[in-house]
Amino acid sequence: MLHSIGVIGLGVMGRNIALNMASRQEDVAVYNYTRDLTDDLMAHNEGLPVHPYYEVADFVQSLARPRKIFVMVTAGSAIDSVIESLIPHLETGDIIMDGGNSHFHDTERRFDQLQQHGIEYIGVGVSGGEVGARTGPAIMPGGTKEAYEQVAPILTKIAAQVNGDPCCVYIGPKGAGHFVKMVHNGIEYADMQLIAEAYSFLRVRLGLDVEEIADVFASWNEGELKSYLIEITADILRKKDDETGLPLIDVILDQAGQKGTGKWTSMQSIDNGIASSIITEALFARYLSAVKEERVAAATVLGGPEARETLDKDVWIERIRQALYMGKIAAYAQGFTQYRTSSELYDWNLRLEEIALIFRGGCIIRADFLNVISEAFAKDESLANLMLAPYFADKVQDYQTALRQVVAESSLSGLAAPCLSTSLTYYDSYRTANSNANILQAQRDYFGAHTYARTDREGTFHTEWQ
């Protein structure tokens, strides 16, 4: 019997995706270019219908047509070499899905390359990590609608389900799926950094101990901040180190790693002229965290402000909660603005209402808050900025004082709060009807004759300034 789908790449994600498919009545062929991972999966296949192949040709021939192949290998040249190895064995109409974190420009190039061979290519954004891959990730497929229709029964089945709806919808042509996944990761960077800054304020400025902070996060997870990231932060803070008995967080080195998708989001927003300052600050915060030795040395040379008075814990815990929520609104506003603007630029017709819904399950940024985002775009699909939706406009109006207080107090205390303060700057910049960019235009015209527009009539103007 021919298998209904094949999976190539049996690392952390691939093996779990294969098992997920097999546990939902798919008959799955698997292949990895080195043998060990295949053997290891077969030793732990949970009795599911997973069938190993050790040659690409045999693997491809084992699949029902049109062949559906889900590739889950390291992003970059590995996916190109997998594609090259598949092309001689595939036929017109067969479908390759790339579930890795490929850059959407690479996906567009591969799509065009495979179109020439009559092979369909779907760039599939997958979010959810190891557990999500096994139990149900959020899935963001981009390619032709026709190809998606053929794989939709499988993808929607293996995706996370929220209220009976799969966290998988067709995103758009070519690289659109991988683009949406990329910006999702950028939003994730900002969300994580905002939480880290709230933690710092609670710990450093309010002097709460780790267990107390865990309780604060757990209580926040009962309200409008309810989300996977808040929930796991409470869990993380309760975990003790087996060796020392200390909170594990206190023995984890403060140097953040990254795999590049947050950076791509920032670079793309810069290329496309879109302000994604909060996401980019989150990236820079990771870069600054990485220079640990320099920071340790600088701490002995560069002084901060005098110690300040003790703060009322209950009052400030609520202020931090509000500041965090408002920072989160601003960060998501930037991410969704990047979706809207890029959708117009690339003619993708992204449906922001649906994108918010698929993030509700399986993925790292899943949160109740996404329902409200989806409703905002459902009511007004051309909404220029999330903060302008009535619900969020009211919320930021209510919470801005708390954000200002937390940012000001952080600053006066010498506590870095890059994403919280950038959220406030973004909010204040965005709501400024008359900005100071007239000074910039005048300077540009003064030194470079770059011309300027006037407020009172159409046209392009230049002044002889001297």
286 known ligand binder = yes
Residue 379 among the catalytic residues: no
Member of 25, 61, 74, 432 binding ligand NDP (CB under 6 A): 74
Q: Which of 321, 337, 331 is nearest to 422 (CA)?
A: 331
Q: Pick from 12, 232, 275, 311: which binds ligand NDP (CB under 6 A)?
A: 12
Say if residue 156 carries a ligand binding annotation: no
Is residue 248 at the binding interface for ligand NDP, with CB under 6 A as the rule? no
CB of 106 to ligand NDP, least distance (A): 11
Greatest Cα pair distance in the chain: 84
Q: Which of 181, 263, 328, 395 is catalytic?
A: 181
Nearest to 140 by CA among 401, 339, 381, 379: 339
Q: Which long-range contacts (CB under 8 A, 24 or more apart) does 368-372 make?
A: 368/224, 368/226, 368/227, 369/224, 369/225, 369/226, 369/227, 369/328, 369/332
With contacts defined by CB under 6 A, name the span among 3-11, 204-212, 243-251, 425-433 that binds ligand NDP.
3-11
User: Is 275 a binder of ligand NDP (CB under 6 A)?
Assistant: no
Closest Cα to residue 333, out of 426, 408, 270, 398? 426
When the beta carbons of 126 and 402 are compared against ligand NDP, the nearer one is 126
CA Rg value for the chain? 25
**28 near ligand NDP (CB under 6 A):** no
Q: How far apart are CA 177 and CA 151, in angstroms?
A: 14
Q: How far apart are CA 136 and CA 277, in angstroms?
A: 32
Q: Is 101 annotated as a binding residue?
A: yes
Tokens of 162: 């929220």
Nearer to ligand NDP, 101 or 277 (CB): 101
- Rule CB under 6 A: say whether 155 interacts with ligand NDP: no
Buried b (16+ CB within 10 A) or exposed e, 205-233: bbebebeebbebbbebbeeebebbbbbeb
Determine how β-strand 165-166 pairs with β-strand 161-162: antiparallel
Cα end-to-end span (Å), the chain? 84
Tell me which of 28, 30, 73, 320 binds ligand NDP, using CB under 6 A: 73
**Residue 436 is labelled as binding a ligand:** no
- CA 383/CA 225 separation, integer angstroms: 23
Q: Which class for 242: exposed (0-12), middle (13-18), buried (19 or more C-beta within 10 A)?
A: exposed
- Ligand-binding site membership of 32 (annotated): yes
- Name which of 178 and 351 has its Cβ closer to ligand NDP: 178
Indicate the residue type of 359.
F
Minimal distance, residue 75 CB to ligand NDP, in Å = 4
- Least distance (Å) between residue 291 CB and ligand NDP: 25
Binding mask 30-69 for ligand NDP (x = CB under 6 A): --xxx--x--------------------------------
Q: Which of 18, 28, 82, 147 binds ligand NDP (CB under 6 A)?
A: 82
Closest distance to ligand NDP from the beta carbon of 422 (Å):
26
Q: Would residue 174 show up in a list of annotated catalytic residues for this protein?
A: no
> Residue by residue, what is the 3-state secondary structure of 274-337?
CCCHHHHHHHHHHHHHHCHHHHHHHHHHCCCCCCCCCCCHHHHHHHHHHHHHHHHHHHHHHHHH
> What residues from 113 to 142 belong to the interface with ligand NDP (CB under 6 A)?
126-127, 129
**Residues touching ligand NDP: how many (CB under 6 A)?**
22
Minimum distance, C-beta of residue 78 to ligand NDP, in the bound complex (Å): 3
Please state the length of the chain. Answer: 466
Residue 72 sits in the site that holds ligand NDP (CB under 6 A): yes
Which residues are registered as beta bridge partners of 68?
Answer: 95
14 binds ligand NDP (CB under 6 A): yes
Q: Which residue is nearest to ligand NDP (CB)?
A: 11
Distance between CA atoms of 107 and 348, rounded to whole angstroms? Answer: 14
Q: Which residues are annotated as a binding site for NADP(+)?
A: 9-14, 32-34, 73-75, 101
Q: Which residues are annotated as a binding site for substrate?
A: 101, 127-129, 184-185, 189, 259, 286, 444, 450
Residues in contact with ligand NDP by CB under 6 A are 9-14, 32-34, 37, 72-75, 78, 81-82, 100-101, 126-127, 129
**Catalytic (active-site) positions:** 181, 188
Q: Which residues are annotated as a binding site?
A: 9-14, 32-34, 73-75, 101, 127-129, 184-185, 189, 259, 286, 444, 450
